[in-house]
Amino acid sequence: MALNDWYDGSKPNDYEVPWAYALVGLSVLLLMGSALGGIHGAVSTWAYQTALSTAKSENTRLKHRVARHDAVKAFLGNQAVNEEADIYGLLLSEIEVVERAAATEIARQPQVASMDVASTLLGNPKLQRQLTTMRKQAGTRRDLMAQLERGLAEAGFNTTIKLRQGEVIVHLAGSYFTRGSSRVTPRLQKNLNSVFTIYADHIFNHPNFKRNIAQIELVALGDKKENTLDMDLGYQRSRSIYRSIFDSKKTKFKNQKDLMKLIKVSRINYLDAQPSLQNKKDAAASLCQHYGCEDPKKIVLRVQFKESGDAHAKP
């Protein structure tokens, strides 16, 4: 399915503001009955002017939404949409970028016609470069995730890949921390050494990955606590893993110091799973769905890429 077909479902109805114009009609009826008294007439006139202003404002808002919609179609209309594929996540990000650029253009010229906005943006080289960079980042992320998944699988590790987030989730059920503890056991240490050695090999043996990565977040999951995860315990575990992996007296592997410069100890939070959720209970449920609260014996390595387009200058 092409974006033109998929995205059309979200297009607002141009000039269609039934509730606002209903207020105008009601106000007209009141105005016609203003003979009942001067005060009633003044109130009716005020109601009419207010309703008319509201209708015009709503109409303008919808026209601007149509303009943003048309700009997105002009930019991205030929792309395929597959909600099961990683391109879907990239497409949502691209739509957000184009709509934001269209909104900026509309703010600069409020009376600009819908297709004029699209035409202006199509001639915007900065926006074109930004979208090109996003697509290259998505390609780099996809290649890195695929190689890491394959390398870890060959070493016997079960993984879950969250492509849009850049996450490699490594399942360590047989050797994870004991409940309530953040102490790295010898068995866990052995598995962590293997995981980080593989991770470092894939990053630093591929110039494109090394050049494009800004930072890697290390997140260990805490135990299940009520309907979510114990985030404080998870953070303590992340710190313990970092100390054990980068203590050269305990373990050594190729590119250890280079990897240490990229790794940031982090913790999960409610916004990781679905940033749009404001309700803490719903966000906690989404977090559990994202990481799996029933089996939290996992570590997450989340890669973040450089935003500069210069990082992608070389193949």
Per-residue pLDDT tens digits for 189-201: 999 999 999 999 9
Task: Write out pLDDT tens, residues 240-289.
Answer: 999 999 998 888 999 999 999 999 998 876 445 444 444 566 666 777 77
Confidence of residue 84 (pLDDT cuts 50, 70, 90): very low
Sheet holding 158-162, edge to edge: 158-162, 167-171, 298-305, 213-220, 263-265
Domains and CATH numbers, the chain: 3-122 (no CATH), 135-312 (3.30.1330)
Task: Write out pLDDT tens, residues 90-134.
Answer: 666 677 777 777 777 777 766 656 556 667 776 778 877 877 777
| Cα separation, 288 vs 251, whole angstroms | 33
Contacts of 288 (CB under 8 A, 6+ apart): 227, 228, 229, 294
Question: So what's the pLDDT on residue 168?
Answer: 92
State the average pLDDT over residues 164-171: 87
Using CB atoms within 10 A of its CB, is residue 276 exposed (0-12), middle (13-18) or buried (19+)? exposed
Indicate the Cα dihedral angle 256, 257, 262, 268, nearest 10°. 60
| Cα separation, 132 vs 137, whole angstroms | 9
State the average pLDDT over residues 138-148: 85
| Cα separation, 52 vs 134, whole angstroms | 43
Confidence of residue 77 (pLDDT cuts 50, 70, 90): low
pTM: 0.64
